[in-house]
Structure 1
Amino acid sequence: MSIISSLNKDFESRVRLGIMSVLVVNDWVDFTEMKLLLEVTDGNLASHTSGLEKLNYIEVKKEFVGKKPKTSYRVTNSGRLAFAEHLNFLEKLLKL
C-alpha cells in the first residue's frame, strides 16, 4: 500500500481539514465561531459538519441559550485518532 493511498479521503476537503484542526485543539466550538474561523458559508459548514458527524468523527450538541438555538461541535475519540493518522501520513509524504 502506498503512502498516498493511506491518506484519509474524509479529510481531503479544506473545510473538513479546517474543522478537524480547530476541534483537536479546542473542547467545544460553536457554529458561529467555526464559521468565522474558517470563513465559510452557513450551508458549507453545515454540510461538512453533518458528514463528519455521520462518520462519528465529531459530536454535535444542539441547545437553546435563552431563546436562541446554539450548535456546538467537538471531536470524538475516533475522530481524533483518524485525524492523527491522516496527519502522520501527510508528514511521511512530505519526507519523501
Structure 2
Amino acid sequence: MKIALTNFDKAFENRVRLQIMSVLVANESYDFNSLKDLLEVTDGNLASHLKALEKDEYITVTKSFLGRKPNTRYHASDQGIIAFKKHLEALENLIKQQKK
C-alpha cells in the first residue's frame, strides 16, 4: 500500500512545532512564557521553534510592554492555519489508510 505524503508539512514534523501550532490555532494568541510553561520546554528550544515557524510565515509576532516588562505574543497566521489543517487532514488520511 502506497501512502501519499503530499500534504504533510515538514514544519510540523517536530513535536514542539506541532504543539505550538495546536495551541495557536485553538487560541487567539499566546505569550512566550505561557507557551514555555505549557509545553515544558526551555527558552532556547521554544525560541528556535518559534523562529522556524515565523520564517515559514505560519505565525506572527507582536511585541509590547506590560508596564515596564516586555511581552511577546504569538498568533497563527492565516497561511499557518491553512497549512496546519492540511497537515492534520493528511494525518487523518494516513490513519484511515492504516485501518483498511
Q: Does 1:68 align with 2:66?
A: no
The within-5 A match list for 1:34-49 is 34-49=35-50
- What's the secondary structure of 1:44's corresponding residue? helix
Residue 19 of structure 1 and its aligned partner are, at CA, apart by 0.2
Q: Which runs of 5+ in 1 are unaligned?
A: none
RMSD: 1.3
User: 1:12 aligns to what?
Assistant: 13
Instruction: Deviation per CA, 1:19-76: give whole Å up to 9, x if none.
Output: 0000001001001110111100000111100110111100011111111111110100
Give structure 1 regions of 4+ aligned residues with deviation exceeding 6 angstroms: none
Which letter maps to 1:22? V
Task: Give the whole-Å Cα distance in 2 for the aligned partners of 1:40 and 1:4.
Answer: 29
Q: Which runs of 5+ in 2 are unaligned?
A: none
Which letter maps to 1:70? N
Which letter maps to 1:62? K
CA contact (8 A) 2:64 2:70 kept: yes
Which letter maps to 2:90? F
Task: Give the whole-Å Cα distance in 1 for the aligned partners of 2:96 and 2:39.
Answer: 28
Aligned residues: 96
Larger radius of gyration: 2
User: 2:59 aligns to what?
Assistant: 58
Q: TM-score, normalised by structure 2?
A: 0.91
CA contact (8 A) 2:8 2:91 kept: yes
